[in-house]
């Protein structure tokens, strides 16, 4: 995948596309984990959510640049 994408004459980083793809998937997964009651077993919920997002975004970024 190229490092930059041309969107209407403006170059945007391809990781921005990865961010836009990751957000809805993260929201769906976060909602499913909350409904399943997993957050009762997590020590720090906000830290867990942030790490979950970073792992998902990093995995997609590595997949795109591979």
Q: Is the pLDDT of residue 53 over 60?
A: yes
pLDDT computed for residue 6 by the predictor: 84
Listing DSSP states for 1-60 in one string gives: --SEEEETTEEEEHHHHHHHHHHHHHHHHHHHHHHHTGGGG-S-HHHHHHHHHHHHHHHH
pLDDT value, residue 1? 56
Output the CA–CA distances (angstroms, integers) from residue 63 to 3, 39, 55, 60, in the order listed: 13, 28, 12, 5
**Domains in the chain, number:** 1
How crowded is the C-beta side of 14, counted as CA atoms within 13 Å?
Answer: 13
pLDDT tens, position by position, 1-44: 567 888 899 898 888 889 999 999 999 999 999 999 999 999 99
- List residues bridging with 10 in a β-sheet: 7
pTM, entire model: 0.83
User: 12: domain range?
Assistant: 4-65
């Amino acid at each position: 995948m190229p490092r930059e994408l041309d969107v209407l004459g403006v170059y945007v980083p391809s990781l921005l596309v990865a961010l836009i793809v990751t957000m809805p998937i993260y929201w769906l997964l976060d909602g499913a984990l909350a409904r399943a009651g997993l957050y009762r077993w997590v020590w720090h919920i906000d830290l867990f959510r942030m790490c979950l997002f970073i792992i998902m975004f990093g995995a997609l970024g590595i997949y795109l640049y591979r």
